[in-house]
Amino acid sequence: MHDAPTEQSTDVLVIGGGNAGISLAARLHRKGITDVTIVEPKSTHHYRPMLSYVGAGLNTVEEMSRPQHRVMPRGVRWIQDRVQALDPVARTATLSSGRVRYRDVVICAGSAPDWDLVPGSAEAMAGPSASTNYTVELAPKTWELIRDLRRGTALFTIPDGPAPTPQIGQKIMFLAADYWQRRGVLQDIEITLLTPTATVFGQPAVDRALEPWIERYGITVLTSAQVRSIDAGARRLHAMVAGQARELPYDLLHHSPVHRAPDWIAAAQLAAAGSSYADVDPRTLQHRELPHVWACGDAAALETTSSGGALRQQTKILAENLLAVRDGREPTAFYDGYTVTPVTVQRGRAVFAEFDRDNELAPTIPRVPLLAPSRLLWFFDLEVLPRDYWNVILRGL
């Protein structure tokens, strides 16, 4: 860790040391850019896909955490601070502790829940009956609520706007249903899923894979649903469902909030009108107006749903294109919007929904039926991917 002097400069400035920032910085350094700086305020790095398993009581927050200094790529400088403003014309970033000049900047600052969008949602999260796996602080509470529910109504929401792996709320829903079934209380619990999609998942082959499990657990699916407000005191959720206003009581609510990117992106005029997300060309990951600005991961508007699994491709493509442009060439690599949502349908079985920007299946694991719930995919998601994350993905390999 280095304290930032009031003014310093770097060749490539990477804003955010999460999955995107660390993998990208490692790649750029390996490709010969020796002066790469990451700005990241946090001291602890999290493998966030594990949040679903923390919420299901199968992993702990400790198991998904490493000290940030241990995941910093060798040879890359870390400024432990927060970017407050960007001036993309002067090519400077303002941090709490000073300014950094750069030649290229890559926005990898992720996104955060927009609690203001749904009135009452923040109050509900602070109350005794609602939680979300979308924050490290609340995921352990999800498990406490699931563990303690014996009867009543459980609601699970899917965001009707951008969020990391938006359909991941189904993973905790199925794991909760499986847990209640094993405990013999499922018949006393009514489960409802609210999703903005027209079908369960919104991709025909994935729908076919999940529908038998929806039936098995007796889950009611409300499609074309948007959460409008939550009354935490009365434990009621207000939603529009297929154009009709609905009020739904709950004893347990797992809410997946719509997210927004950091405000300084739009303040620097780097977001499209009406959006908070970095307005890059979704195929090249270069900003549409400013060639020295790049973005990938959850903070970028990429016309696909974001996920950690998408970042291997994105960071590879971005690094290649940044070097091509420095060479005076046009970008040479293109991102097809590949993304992935692993859905665990019961303890011990999962499917892997991999698809592209056109919502077409885009399987990457040969010879494995990815939409047939299997022990292999469960093991892959729970055991193999976390190891791969710490040892391979964060090294930009």
Ligand X SMILES: Cc1cc2nc3c(=O)[nH]c(=O)nc-3n(C[C@H](O)[C@H](O)[C@H](O)COP(=O)(O)OP(=O)(O)OC[C@H]3O[C@@H](n4cnc5c(N)ncnc54)[C@H](O)[C@@H]3O)c2cc1C
The contact set with ligand X (CB under 6 A) reads 15-21, 39-42, 48-49, 51-52, 82-83, 108-110, 133-134, 164-165, 168, 262, 297-299, 306-309, 340, 342
Closer to ligand X at the Cβ: 120 or 169?
169
Hey, how many other C-beta atoms are within 10 angstroms of the C-beta on 269? 13
Q: How far is the CB of 34 from ligand X (least distance, A)?
A: 22
Determine the 3-state secondary structure of 397 from DSSP. Answer: coil
Q: What is the DSSP string of 126-162?
A: HSSSEE-TTSTTTHHHHHHHHHH--SEEEEEE--SS-
**C-beta of residue 139 within 8 angstroms of C-beta of residue 59:** no
Closer to ligand X at the Cβ: 186 or 345?
345
Residue nearest to ligand X according to CB distances in the complex: 18
Closer to ligand X at the Cβ: 82 or 216?
82
**C-beta of residue 155 within 8 angstroms of C-beta of residue 253:** yes
In sequence order, the β-bridge partners of residue 355 are: 339, 361
Closer to ligand X at the Cβ: 186 or 389?
389
- Torsional sign, CA 313, 315, 320, 324: positive
Dig out the tokens for 376 from the structure.
């292999």
Determine the 3-state secondary structure of 293 from DSSP. Answer: strand
Q: How far is the CB of 104 from ligand X (least distance, A)?
A: 16
Closer to ligand X at the Cβ: 109 or 186?
109
Q: How far is the CB of 132 from ligand X (least distance, A)?
A: 8
Instruction: Give backbone dihedrals phi and psi of 165, rounded to 5 degrees, phi first.
Output: 30, 70
Q: How far is the CB of 302 from ligand X (least distance, A)?
A: 11
Determine the 3-state secondary structure of 390 from DSSP. Answer: helix
- For residue 209, give the nearest of 117, 336, 86, 343 by alpha carbon: 343
Q: How far is the CB of 330 from ligand X (least distance, A)?
A: 25
Q: How far is the CB of 372 from ligand X (least distance, A)?
A: 18
Closer to ligand X at the Cβ: 297 or 331?
297
